[in-house]
Structure 1
Amino acid sequence: MRVTDIYLTGLGVHLPEVVEMTTAVEQGWFDATQAEQTGLTGAAVAGEVSGPEMALDATRQALTRAGQDPAGVDLLLYVDVYHSGPDGWLPQSYLQKHLLGGDLTAVGVRQGCNGIFGALELAASHLMADPGRGPALVVAADNLSSPLLNRWQALPGVVMGDAASAVVLSREEGFARLRSICSTTITELEGLHRGDEPLYPASTPAGRPLNFITRFVQFNQAGGMGPDGALLFVKTMDEVVGRALDEAGIDAGRIARVAFNNGARASVEDRVVPLGFTMEQSTWEYGRRLGHLGASDQLVSMDHLLDTGELGPGDHLLLLGLGPGVSIAAAVVEILAVPPWLA
């Protein structure tokens, strides 16, 4: 989707303390050889701080940085990938009670690790549909601590981290502009994240642990991926990125940095390099010490790049995501100015 006159005015992050990989290896949570092969050095772990509490902190920071009155927000899109609190309760209502108030549309977005992309597209469409609408707020948060999820062994070549992130989108000019956003789903690979798991009863009520490694093996043993699936995966990612660049009106040479899902060096390299980018352009070096932060990888990485000055006025950032479905998403953000909180 080509985006017109939609700006980022505030960005907020809540990042818990990092548990170093040396500790994980000493405790037997992660294999030393695997740690060396993946290049991963730690994971952000929130302990007993809930996802909604982290989301509230990140949202406050984003609104403060934007100079935005919470009462002026028209739309809240809340993204999570795992359980955020009591079943039958909605985490976005927690932000409404403690910060935003009830006079706005507040909706949950469930799109797995690509949730931030779906939320950005919905928020941009909402703002472009009516010039009179106030800012939109996109928030992502997760605490993945659970007896049914082993953060150190739930995904191949990945450890799971906890975090929250928030971004304020507005029609009023900000420090960055959203140029394009697009996504697609490779429906042929739908079963990759499902494996042999039954649809009913659901995993959590039945007490079954979440282990994507097992599901991936089951899917592959059934012939689900195969050479055709792998080629389709690469082809589709190339098409999505190409479309995002085209809709942004730039070519790949204009991209300064690429923010992709945090993971093992090989997994990031296999996705970024075939697209014509280098590992130095990626955010792997930063993300490898945090773990895969659910839907927050890209916004947390953007905040880091801005904070360290690695991304500045005139630069274009490619946000790239991979999630269950299998969904692939990309967005282009143009940095217009040094953010006011860093000036």
Structure 2
Amino acid sequence: MKVDLFDFDLPEELIAQTPLENREASRLMVVDKETGEITHTHFRSILSYLNKGDCLVLNDTRVLPARLYGVKEDTGAKVEVLLLKQKDGDTWETLVKPAKRVKEGTVLTFGDGRLKATCTDIGDHGGRMLEFHYEGIFYEVLDALGEMPLPPYIHEQLDDKERYQTVYAKHRGSAAAPTAGLHFTEELLQEIRDKGVHTAFITLHVGLGTFRPVSSDTIEDHDMHSEFYQMTDETAKLLNDVKKSGGKIISVGTTSTRTLETIVKKHGKFVESSGWTSIFIYPGYQYEAINGLITNFHLPKSTLIMLVSALAGRENILHAYNEAVKERYRFFSFGDAMLIK
């Protein structure tokens, strides 16, 4: 299947550069996955599309302020480091710019020496293994010195770091936010629970591969990135009970979707589990875990628009996206939302 089948024209000014002051104030497009029928509303009205006995599944990963600006200890030359994955203790897989300045044994310093790092290995495309040295608790030092690794299409600085976290963010480890969850407030979640709708939490640590464009001409040739997921026994039991009782499972975001589908494909039901998933969902895929999806509007020709097309049909989704452009919806991480029901 050709990647170009998932292209559409997106004016650059529709890419949301800053979040709305009120999380719930974003617009919501509701798409019927069977008929393609579209309804325009606002996110607060999500409540009217959820029924008692249904279950919202939310990704409670927390974004690391993973971008660090520092200098080489010996020369004072400036470097930028992006933390990707914790490998062992205080050793991290990172991306360094400019990479040519950082060779094996190079020492970097951040925050006037509050945090230091030694390069222990060199990888491809700017990849470096760094071993960090500090006093106290690493994540507290990182909170003080690091910046949020906003997606490459956002050019504005973020004043409030918490605005790139969901209100239920808990487990540190993501290089990017599960952005469909940014629309929820504690108050809205409580109203949803008061209606008798369950909320369940899974964890998937979003990798920067989620922003990587599909460089092959055909979908089948794309090499999907791998991400760590976890589901508790409590969540597994709740989701199995919801399925048995006829309730709908609505995943909040493509990250939740990938986790749920990975587990059900592997085990035939929801079970307590953790591991790495590189599941690639595109049209032709048969969904087994979810009934509906809350998601943002995604990049043209991205793996994410392919995932939503697998649920609602490519023609329905492209029609919806063209409608979103016409109606001036806000796109991507800080943009508006879509409910596929």
Report the TM range for the smaller structure's normalisation. under 0.3
- Which has a greater percent of helix? 1
* Greater C-alpha Rg: 2
TM-score for both structures, normalised by structure 2 = 0.25
